[in-house]
Amino acid sequence: MENENTGAVRRIGVLTSGGDAPGMNAAIRSVVRSAYRRGIECIGIRRGWAGLISGDFAPMTGSDVSRIINRGGTVLYTARSDEFRTEAGQQKAAATCKLLGLEGIVAIGGDGTFRGALDLSRYGVSVVGIPGTIDNDIGCTDYTIGFDTAANTAVDCIDRLRDTMQSHERCAVVEVMGRHAGYLALHVGVAVGATAVLVPEYPYNFDEHVAEKIRRARLSGKTNFIIVVAEGAVSAVSVGEQIRAELGLDPRVTILGHIQRGGAPTVKDRVMATRMGYEAVRLLSEGKTNRIICAEGDKIVDRDIAEALQMKKTLNPEEFKVMTVMTGT
């Protein structure tokens, strides 16, 4: 075992909270195995903050996380907890940590998960967050676990859909997830060669963002069209209705929904999750707290939770420009 447990931490917990994302299991595996290598016992908390309140837990060893790196979802399950948002709920969760002797918690999830970790830290529990969400909308990090897998899943679905659209010379309007952010839609749209991509960061204008792009594509010889819509931008159904009413086409609307959150994680998600899990345990072993593990380019860094939650994220201007040039042709 590594002799790097400088903070003399003996036992930590790991949980997943909020929406599931491919790669969460890889992160859990990394936390458990990294803890073992440092002589730290790891306790799995089931069902996120709700499980910490109720005491839903199980000790985890290396054998418990064997063969989960390739599985989607989360073996620890996930849930949202209204009770944990209250002071009484947070006190119950802190009491569970005290009862079990948990000196630190690794929380895998999104902004809501990190706010919960920050609340728990006020009761003397060391916390480190790992960003896991397919939306890639966490301001403090360039990348979140699950994004690459979700994008590849959406691309695969649209590639299959395109075969039918080409055969019938039709227009497909496809809604992808992303909550209030357009990162997933932007990447998927560029990857599938979409006719148009609609993201919430830019106000929706049917004539400019859809109609004119379809017209230009038709004038260039295309007879089938793919419109990718981020769920937070505009209703895909309403876009389809406008296309039918104003352009005389017969569009088919497909909402991919939660299929994007499942499936085996890609290489990128497995590797990023493993690196982040290792770093989270390292920080706790050194007695550090209130940190979020972040990707900064190819580097893994950590930031203060309070400061990280204040950071904002915008679409990459260069990527958006590439999309605007590539669509409508």
**pLDDT by residue (tens digit) across 152-189?**
999 999 999 999 999 999 999 999 999 899 999 999 99
Whole-Å CA distances, 1 to 16, 34, 67, 284, 308: 26, 10, 22, 16, 33
Asked if 158 and 192 touch (Cβ cutoff 8 Å), the reply is yes
* Distance of alpha carbon 303 from alpha carbon 283, whole angstroms: 11
Query: What mean pLDDT is predicted for residues 301-327?
Result: 92
Mean pLDDT of the chain, nearest integer: 95
SS3 state of residue 71? coil
Cβ-based neighbours of 21, under 8 Å, separated by 6 or more: 132, 133, 134, 144, 145, 146, 147, 149, 150, 261
Query: What mean pLDDT is predicted for residues 211-237?
Result: 96
What pLDDT is recorded for position 328? 75
For the stretch 84-140, pLDDT in tens is 999 999 999 999 999 999 999 999 999 999 999 999 999 999 999 999 999 999 999
**Which token pair is 317?**
């201007």
Whole-Å CA distances, 12 to 100, 132, 152, 282: 9, 19, 34, 12
Per CATH, 11-146+265-310 and 148-262 having the same topology is answered: yes
For the stretch 197-218, pLDDT in tens is 999 999 999 999 999 999 999 9
Query: What mean pLDDT is predicted for residues 297-322?
Result: 93
Q: What is the CA radius of gyration of the chain?
A: 22
Domain range annotation of the chain: 11-146+265-310, 148-262
What pLDDT is recorded for position 3? 52
For the stretch 3-16, pLDDT in tens is 566 668 999 999 99
Name the residue type at position 322. Answer: V
For the stretch 251-299, pLDDT in tens is 999 999 999 999 999 999 999 999 999 999 999 999 999 999 999 999 9
Catalytic residue among 135, 137, 269, 302: 135
Q: Domain spanning 11-146+265-310: which CATH class is it, in words?
A: alpha beta
| Partner residues linked to 291 by β-bridges | 128, 304
Give the residue from 229, 266, 289 showing the smallest Cα distance to 12: 289
* Distance of alpha carbon 281 from alpha carbon 15, whole angstroms: 13
**In which band, very low, low, confident or very high, does the pLDDT at 220 lie, cut at 50, 70 and 90?**
very high
| Partner residues linked to 254 by β-bridges | 174
What pLDDT is recorded for position 199? 97
What pLDDT is recorded for position 327? 86
Residue 146 has pLDDT above 60, yes or no: yes
Distance of CA 15 to the CA centre of its chain: 15
Compute the residue count for the chain: 329
328 Rama class: left (phi>0) / alpha (psi -120 to 50) / beta? left
* Distance of alpha carbon 43 from alpha carbon 56, whole angstroms: 10
Query: In this structure, which topology does domain 148-262 adopt according to CATH?
Result: Rossmann fold (3.40.50)
Give the residue from 71, 67, 8, 17 showing the smallest Cα distance to 41: 8
Residue 87 burial (C-beta neighbours within 10 Å; 0-12, 13-18, 19+): exposed
What pLDDT is recorded for position 48? 97
Q: Is 135 a catalytic residue?
A: yes
Name the residue type at position 15. Answer: L
For the stretch 40-93, pLDDT in tens is 999 999 999 999 999 999 999 999 999 999 999 999 999 989 999 999 999 999
Residue 2 has pLDDT above 60, yes or no: no
